[in-house]
Amino acid sequence: MSEKSIFGYVNEKKDIGGIVFLEVVPDTDLKIVTVVAKKNFSKDAWKTAKKAKLGAAIKVSGIFPEKAVSRKGVELLAKEIEIISNPVDVLPVDPSGKTEILFDTRLEYRYFLLRTLKERAIFKIRAKALKFAREFFEERGFLEVHTPKIVGAGAEGGATLFTLDYFGRKAFLAQSPQLYKQMLMAGIPRVYEITPYFRAEKFHTTRHLNECWGIDCEIAFIDSQEDVMRVLEDLVHYILSKVSKECVKELEILNVKLNTQSKPFKRLTYKEALEILKNKGIKVEWGEDFSDREEATLGEEMLKEGHELYFIIEYPWETKPFYIMRKGELSEAFDLDYKGLEIASGGQREHRYEELVRNIKEKGLNPEDFEFYLNAFKYGMPPHGGFGLGLERLLTKMLNFSNVREVVIFPRDIQRLVP
């Protein structure tokens, strides 16, 4: 028998005569320790256990017996118990998970519910996914960068920008690191950034947030958008593979069987996507973006062919931002969809100064507003491209959730500003 001390939270308590059973969630472990306080073993520990309230933060020192009585497998026979903090109010939700909790209530008390194994599993996987993304890029010689989050111009126009007063000047919260990571291609050919996005979109859907996180990448000296797509599919495959191998316990708790899908991912043209939707009785005009319903329908059809992940390519240029390279009436842009949800977008950028100025004007924007950005294209800018991968959307589909808020501790949407 070995002695050990643990810190944790009491999420269940049973008082049966001379024995008090405390179910404790320790530290950040994905397990429950049943603390057994026996009157005839340690009277002081037993007395303290009787005083511990549901939700209390405690320290327990004791012995892990070779044979455990607890059905949950991990048991600690208490020699000493210290109540570090007893609740001063009734718990807002049931930490044992036996009582159903409304979704909005879960979001309100997410910080408290991290005491439960399910909620912990979600955010352990989120943290691991970011760790694996960094591993992927570092192993391939990419430089991690941090671009400004207070900017003077938006990458996608003003409709979805949060404005703020910057010492008497108008400024914005960054929608994306797009313009800055392109500028960096004038100096270094491979960069990545794990970054927040701020978008003032007045949507209240299961896939939209006003503050979200992305994994961004930009690569120079490319031949085509295919070079970028290969990096993206390698990244996603790497994250899925590593999560499936290193997060076995977390996936088990969430009852998720992860499919890593072989490469290369399917390439579906925009025209082919329109035909699929037409055959399902859904008409989308050329140049229109896909709605939630249309994306979901495409996802269902792709799944029938065995594709959870697939690219949509050859979009009309009119639907894409000014920085995307034009190819006649089409563009060198792509989206990556996962089970009917767009999780990433990217493409080859326009690196030629004159063409870029022309694109800005064609989109109804003023080149003078982008002078800081355009200057970088005067000094030998190589062909380049990149992508932005939405972390929350990737995790939502990876873990089979229906709402992106499931994978955010403190969501920010059109209705939620606190906590």
- pLDDT at residue 271, as a whole number: 97
- pLDDT at residue 63, as a whole number: 92
Single out the residue of 194, 202, 186, 195 nearest to residue 149, CA to CA.
Answer: 195
- pLDDT at residue 329, as a whole number: 95
Is residue 395 within 8 A of residue 407, CB to CB? The reply is yes
- pLDDT at residue 204, as a whole number: 85
Question: What pLDDT digit, counting tens, does each position of 284-320 carry?
Answer: 999 999 999 999 999 999 999 999 999 999 999 999 9
What are the residues whose beta carbons fall under 8 Å from the beta carbon of 417, sequence distance 6 or more? Answer: none
Question: What pLDDT digit, counting tens, does each position of 1-31 carry?
Answer: 668 999 999 999 999 989 999 999 998 788 8
End-to-end CA distance of the chain: 44
41: three-class secondary structure by DSSP: coil
Peptide bond before 419: cis, by omega within 30 degrees of 0?
Answer: yes
Question: Which positions are annotated as active-site residues?
Answer: 199, 201, 207-208, 342, 345, 393
- pLDDT at residue 156, as a whole number: 62
What are the sequence ranges of the domains in the chain?
2-91, 113-407
Is residue 124 within 8 A of residue 30, CB to CB? The reply is yes
Record: fold of 2-91: OB fold (Dihydrolipoamide Acetyltransferase, E2P) (2.40.50)
According to CATH, what is the number of the domain 113-407? 3.30.930.10
Other beta carbons less than 10 A from residue 69's beta carbon: 11
- pLDDT at residue 73, as a whole number: 65
Could you give the angle at which helices 391-398 and 225-246 cross, rounded to 10 degrees? Answer: 50
What are the residues whose beta carbons fall under 8 Å from the beta carbon of 350, sequence distance 6 or more? Answer: 322, 323, 324, 325, 326, 356, 359
Secondary structure element (H or E) that encloses residue 79, with its range: strand 75-85
Average pLDDT by stretches of 10, the chain with 419 residues: 87 92 88 90 94 95 79 84 96 88 94 93 98 98 97 72 94 94 97 96 89 98 98 98 97 96 96 96 93 95 97 96 95 97 98 97 92 95 98 98 96 93
